[in-house]
Amino acid sequence: MIKLQLKSDYDSCSFEELSEDEQRLVEKAREATKNSYSPYSKFRVGAAVLLKNGKIVIGANQENAAFPSGLCAERTAVFAAQANYPEQPIMILAIAAADANGLRSTPVSPCGSCRQVILQMESRYHQSVEILLTGTSKIYRFKSIKDLLPFSFVDEDMKPEA
């Protein structure tokens, strides 16, 4: 048996260390938490995606009494972007969360389903999506969703082996 190890590289930075585009996107994600419909969890999540054409599309989590029917902020943003701008790759995705005390100081991470959807966008457009996990005290910047989803499953995995 050989023991192996996974490693993810990411930056931990302050808001001021982000580029202007990244700062604008973080602000939009934070604002999007106000659009959350979360009467059950009271956990408001907002997401914002920056498309290659410069457009920003936001999303917010939407809960439902039939729990599987709700949708995360990340997927609402990605799906809205794809529905309205299907030829535009997503360049950056920012995620923010708020609870009863306001915006969270520490970053939150996307769920597994959201990670898979973001991975599909990388596969579709053949380019990485930068991920910004934001809190008021620090921000984590990942160069690709693959850093959050090791051993990922993409279209190429379904091709027959030679």
**Is 74 labeled as catalytic in the residue annotation?**
yes
Q: Letter for the amino acid at 99? A: D
**What is the rounded CA–CA span in Å between residue 44 and residue 37?**
7
> What's the CA gap between 126 and 133, in Å, rounded?
22
Q: Look at residues 23, 39, 38, 32 and name the one whose alpha carbon lies nearest to residue 57.
A: 32
Give CA–CA dist 30/89, Å, rounded: 22
CA atoms within 13 A on the CB side of 58: 18
| Tokens 């690709």 -> residue | 144
Q: Extract the tokens encoding 51.
A: 């498309």
Among candidate residues 74, 87, 130, 156, the one labeled active-site is: 74
Residues known to be catalytic: 74
